[in-house]
């Protein structure tokens, strides 16, 4: 509830400070006294955009501050979402600087207008002729029915499931898009992969192949050099092995004569053993070395293929070709597996759709169960408000589309006259009738959900005294569970308030100012008497005022 309001340097208000009570509060004042200014200032606190022309003195800043008791409003989650400090006594302050800049604070934490509007909607509902158009809005009509049907929990579950359902649909769409794009590239990727697979790539194989190619391509030259080497080593009289054998035998004799020759003998002997080994290996090479044109062609073809692939893929190593092959395997496998992924996603969507349908049907069932009671309550209240022939035809039909609040198509039709045709509210009801319908709806809602503070701005315009009396009774009844304000020109309503505030203008040092004061009992008698009979109050007007108050 709104507990206090402070306004400084706004429009015709120099400085105003007022405390408010729970229950039913009345605000009265002559036309032009500044009730709209008061509402304008309050709207700024609730997140309305500021205007530099609002400053009374454009050299000073405008400050509007409102204090709310929000202990029973269940707003902790909203405060957490907006990253604000939660206080049961919450202070909202709005400042308009002479430069035209505007600042807003919630419990001294700066906030943007979107955050302020989100909070403001949960604190005060300012009901004016313009706001009655909300009645014709399909979402608002659903809110009325769902409040009576106690659908809040079901709707929360439905919205969570719908969010997941839409996410799955988006994922399916992305998979389908990937598939369409991948199919275009699939054949080419598969061709490239097959080409690399057939090459039997082995990391580092080019070096080995190039060495083998050199050997096969130079068999005759190698044979010639091997034969020459074999002859140099093994020639019977002048070969290196024969010569070393003679040298070894000479040194062996010397070593037998003196130990100082043993080292030389051993070294020569070791060399002879190594050369004898080499001699044998060269002999083996000669035996196995043969020309192999087929293998030469095979090696040459493999080398050519590898060089062509490296040129094609703009790389310099077989390891890079292997990396490309692995990437192509992933792409081809991804494309080939997309069908399975799409089917799996479609299965998820089907399961989610079944759950959504189950929840939507539960929501629909509860809605259809309460609609007759809503129609009955509305028609009973409107009968008291001077609309005895008002009739509603409200139907919720289960459709095929998942909307944000279920699958129902809502028809909310109205007829003001007996035998009249039913039509949409905005076509069938006048502005005054819409106001009375809105009052009826708000009074019904107040019995089912915790509504924010509500401020009715001249909702009684154009109604008779008896009907206004009924309107006052409805607002008084609503005030048992919530804070209700009524800006009114009718004494029958003004007399029903628990508290009464008067808006008035006064000239201070030749400057007109708007002010707001709370009236005591005697002042209320005078105010209501003036509302009954004008400024020249008769004793009968005063007596009537006292009678109304009592």
Reply yes or no on whether the pLDDT at 140 is more than 70: yes
Give percent above pLDDT 90 in the chain. 38
Give 303 or 286, the one with higher predicted confidence. Answer: 303
Instruction: Give the pair of three-digit tokens for residue 198.
Output: 């057939």
Which whole number is the average pLDDT over 504-510?
83
Reply yes or no on whether the pLDDT at 341 is more than 80: yes
Reply yes or no on whether the pLDDT at 132 is more than 70: no
Where does the pLDDT of residue 20 fall: very low under 50, low under 70, confident under 90, or very high at 90 and above? very high
Q: At what angle do helices 205-217 and 219-234 cross, to 10 degrees?
A: 70
Model confidence pLDDT, tens digit, residues 160-183: 999 999 999 999 999 888 877 777
Which whole number is the average pLDDT over 337-352?
89
DSSP character for 55?
Answer: B
Instruction: Give the pair of three-digit tokens for residue 35.
Output: 């009730």
Model confidence pLDDT, tens digit, residues 259-280: 888 888 888 888 888 888 887 7
C-alpha dihedral, 254 to 258 to 260 to 266, nearest 10°: 50
The β-bridge relationship of strands 24-28 and 499-508 is parallel
The full DSSP string for 16-48 is EEEE--SSEEEEE--TTSSHHHHHHHHHHHTTP
Give 32 or 30, the one with higher predicted confidence. Answer: 30
Residue recorded with tokens 């429009």 = 11
Model confidence pLDDT, tens digit, residues 371-394: 999 999 999 999 989 899 999 999
Give 50 or 383, the one with higher predicted confidence. Answer: 383
> Poorest-confidence range of 106-120, 403-417, 450-464?
450-464
Model confidence pLDDT, tens digit, residues 467-506: 888 999 999 999 998 999 999 989 999 999 999 999 998 8
Which whole number is the average pLDDT over 54-64?
86
pLDDT of residue 292: 73
> Poorest-confidence range of 3-7, 462-466, 505-509?
462-466
Whether the Cβ atoms of residue 92 and residue 119 lie closer than 8 Å to each other: yes
Give 100 or 521, the one with higher predicted confidence. Answer: 521
> Poorest-confidence range of 85-94, 189-198, 281-290?
281-290
pLDDT of residue 130: 57
Reply yes or no on whether the pLDDT at 188 is more than 80: no
Model confidence pLDDT, tens digit, residues 425-471: 878 888 778 888 889 998 998 888 878 899 998 887 777 778 888 99
Query: How many Å apart are CA 472 and CA 490, to the nearest integer?
Result: 10
Reply yes or no on whether the pLDDT at 153 is more than 90: yes
Classified as helix, coil or strand, 515 is strand
pLDDT of residue 129: 60
């Amino acid at each position: 509830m709104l507990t206090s309001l402070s306004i400084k340097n706004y429009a015709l208000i120099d400085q105003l400070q007022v405390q408010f009570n729970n229950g039913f509060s009345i605000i009265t004042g002559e036309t032009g006294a500044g009730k709209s200014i008061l509402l304008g200032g309050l709207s700024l606190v609730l997140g309305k955009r500021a205007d530099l022309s609002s400053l009374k003195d454009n050299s000073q800043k405008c400050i509007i501050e409102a204090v709310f008791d929000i202990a029973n409003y269940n707003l902790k989650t909203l405060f957490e979402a907006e990253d604000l400090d939660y206080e049961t006594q919450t202070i909202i302050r709005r400042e308009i600087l002479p430069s035209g800049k505007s600042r807003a604070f919630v419990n001294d934490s700066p906030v943007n207008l979107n955050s302020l509007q989100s909070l403001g909607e949960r604190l005060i509902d300012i009901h004016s002729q313009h706001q009655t158009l909300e009645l014709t809005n399909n979402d608002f009509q659903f809110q009325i029915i769902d409040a009576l049907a106690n659908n809040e929990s079901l709707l929360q579950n439905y919205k969570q499931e719908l969010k997941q359902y839409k996410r799955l649909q988006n994922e399916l769409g992305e998979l389908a898009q990937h598939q369409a794009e991948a199919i275009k590239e699939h054949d080419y990727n598969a061709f490239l992969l097959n080409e690399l697979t057939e090459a039997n790539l082995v990391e580092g194989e080019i070096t080995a192949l190039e060495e083998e190619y050199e050997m096969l391509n130079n068999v005759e030259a190698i044979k010639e050099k091997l034969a020459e080497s074999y002859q140099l080593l093994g020639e019977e009289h002048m070969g290196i092995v024969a010569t070393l054998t003679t040298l070894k035998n000479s040194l062996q004799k010397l070593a037998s004569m003196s130990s100082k020759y043993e080292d030389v003998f051993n070294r020569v002997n070791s060399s002879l053993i190594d050369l004898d080994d080499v001699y044998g290996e060269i002999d083996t090479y000669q035996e196995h070395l043969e020309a192999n044109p087929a293998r030469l062609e095979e090696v040459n073809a493999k080398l050519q293929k590898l060089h062509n692939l490296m040129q094609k893929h703009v790389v310099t190593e077989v390891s890079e070709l292997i990396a490309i092959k692995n990437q192509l395997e992933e792409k081809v496998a991804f494309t080939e597996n997309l069908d399975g992924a799409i089917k799996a996603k479609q299965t998820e969507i089907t399961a989610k759709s079944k759950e959504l349908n189950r929840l939507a049907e539960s929501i629909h069932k509860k809605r259809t169960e309460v609609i007759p009671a809503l129609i009955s309550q509305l028609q009973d209240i409107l009968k008291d408000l001077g609309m005895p022939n008002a009739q509603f035809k409200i139907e919720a039909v289960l459709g095929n589309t998942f909307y944000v609040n279920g699958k129902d198509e809502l028809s909310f039709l109205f007829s003001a006259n007996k035998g009249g045709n039913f039509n949409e509210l905005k076509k069938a009801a006048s502005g005054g009738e819409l106001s009375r319908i809105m009052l009826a709806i708000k009074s019904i809602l107040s019995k089912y959900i915790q509504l924010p503070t509500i401020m009715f701005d001249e909702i009684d315009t154009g109604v008779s005294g008896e009907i206004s009396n009924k309107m006052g009774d409805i607002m008084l009844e609503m005030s048992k569970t919530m804070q209700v304000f009524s800006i009114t020109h009718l004494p029958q309503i003004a007399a029903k308030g628990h508290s009464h505030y008067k808006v008035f203008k006064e000239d201070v040092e030749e400057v007109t100012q708007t002010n707001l004061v709370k009236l005591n009992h005697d002042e209320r008698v005078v105010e209501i008497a003036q509302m009954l009979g004008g400024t020249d109050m008769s004793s009968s007007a005063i007596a009537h005022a006292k009678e109304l108050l009592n």
